[in-house]
Amino acid sequence: MFVELNITLRVSRHPARNGKAFDEYRVQLEERMSVLDALFRVQREQDSSLGFRCSCRVGMCGTCAVYVNRVPRLACSTLVRSLECDVLTIEPLPHYPIVKDVAVSLQPFFEQWRRAKPAFRPRKPEARDLARIPKDSKYRRLTPTKRDCITCGACFAACSIVGMNDHYLGPAAINKAFLRVLDPRDAAREERVKVLDRSLDGVWRCHTQFNCTAVCPRHIDLTDSIVRIKRALFWPGRLLKP
């Protein structure tokens, strides 16, 4: 048994149609309806021209990240009821070029992602044995939660420094670099540190606003990663200690 309720979806349209930047749709709220479910309902029953992205629909791929009431969220994982609001404004994530309606291109995100050199580079590519990482090592202690990034781009959208600075690395790229820098098997530490240490657009542009941490759908403590890198850049020896 559920209470019948209608919600209003205000969806941003790009390009604007009939001079209106937003289109409004009424949707009957169902028991465990997610924002993505609501968008699909609109697309199938009311307006087939509505454009939005999704893929896995279970919060694993990061494709469906949109601005819901001006907070970056995964549409598939955000239950409408949890928003406690009957007008949902769906907009494209800020800081990205818009492709159509609420679908954006994540190109700026991946430009910075690549700059942080996210690929693992082995110290001993010819090695045949498994590397042994001690259970109580810094890498094992600090990184389990940091690996969950699904590159959804929410943190990049939420960061106000990204909003004012076109060249800032952004939380996800820094977090990825942190993972690699801490990895005892990785050989490219110095190169990554050089990128991270840039005063123009490296970690020093972060001012611990915590926007990124607040919106990460995988609950990664991104600000923590960035702050740890700052400390490591000041005390270089400490980072390298196991």
Residues in touch with other proteins (CB under 8 A): 69-71, 94, 158, 160-161, 163-168, 197-202, 204-205, 207-211, 214, 221, 223-224, 227-228, 230-231, 233-234, 236
Q: Which is nearer to other proteins, 52 or 67 (CB)?
A: 67
CB 66 within 8 A of CB 35: yes
Q: Which is nearer to other proteins, 23 or 201 (CB)?
A: 201
Q: Which is nearer to other proteins, 63 or 213 (CB)?
A: 213
Output the smallest distance, CB 3 to other proteins, in A: 27
Q: What 3 state SS string does 114-160 have?
A: HHCCCCCCECCCCCCCCCCCCCCCHHHHHCHHHHHCCCCCHHHHHCH
Q: Which is nearer to other proteins, 30 or 224 (CB)?
A: 224
3-class secondary-structure state, position 31: coil
Output the smallest distance, CB 200 to other proteins, in A: 6
If one counts every other C-beta atom within 10 angstroms of the C-beta of residue 119, the result is 9
Output the smallest distance, CB 157 to other proteins, in A: 10
What's phi and psi for 180, nearest 5 deg? Answer: -70, -40
Output the smallest distance, CB 214 to other proteins, in A: 6
Contacts of residue 187, defined as CB under 8 A and 6 or more positions apart, other chains included, come to 121, 122, 123
